[in-house]
Amino acid sequence: MGAAAVTSASPLPELRLRLPGAWWQIPLHDRETAREAIRGLVRRQLPGDALAPVRIAAERRLLAGLEQPIGGDALALHVALQVIPGTPLPLSAFVVQPERRLSPAIGTAPAATMAVLERALESGAPGELHRFRTAESEVARRVRRERVPAPLGGPVSADALAHAGARPEDVPETVDTLAVEYYLTVPGTKGFLLVVFTAPLGALQDTLVGFFDALIRVAYWHRPETR
């Protein structure tokens, strides 16, 4: 298990996610870097000449799904390669550093920042908010369902695609997905960070939410050295 750095161009503290097993990171700072990371992921999950048409289709769809976040507030997408040995578990973690800062009058105390953020969240998208604390942050969690581009390595496995005849149309466009959003206050600032974990919908929803909660609880903030 390694600590995946979530960096930004500013000197803000960096959130380090402790992701168990093996994960593939797709940086989203610029399009070329993201494209190379996507290409590497697709080659790893769909190897061999027979799967070349599927690789092209999968790469195109995954890049199209990330087109809007690339170069914006998004920092990275982490795709699970293996969390539990021998058990396919198609998970992902999408990390966003919004430019938005809350009112200067509230100070930088985590509780004050979260109180303002929570009011904004409650007036926005539907979904009950659950609050908890980590060592340095206040956290608001919201669970929702959505349709997203199909993850590689889970429902779209190399073996399944090979047996299907390696046709591009065998790569599903989207899947019904559990999305668990975590809004974390950034220590010493009026800002916040958004981490969205996703997984296919199924009977394990409560277990997965608990698992994602645990990953947020063990994440930590790293302060870059100033020169």
Which neighbouring-strand residues pair with 180? 143, 197
Domain chopping of the chain, boundaries: 2-220
The answer to whether 197 touches 215, Cβ cutoff 8 Å, is yes
Cα–Cα distances in Å, from 133 out to 82, 98, 114? 28, 20, 11
Name residue, tokens 């800002």.
191
Residues 168-203: pLDDT tens digits? Answer: 555 566 677 899 999 999 998 888 999 999 888 776
Reduced to 3 states (helix: H, G, I; strand: E, B; else coil), residue 76 is strand
The H or E element that residue 103 is part of is: none
* Report for 13-17, 67-71, 111-115, 174-178: range of highest mean pLDDT: 13-17
Residues 6+ apart with CB under 8 A from 205: 143, 178
Q: What is the reported pLDDT for 8?
A: 46
Q: What is the reported pLDDT for 123?
A: 76
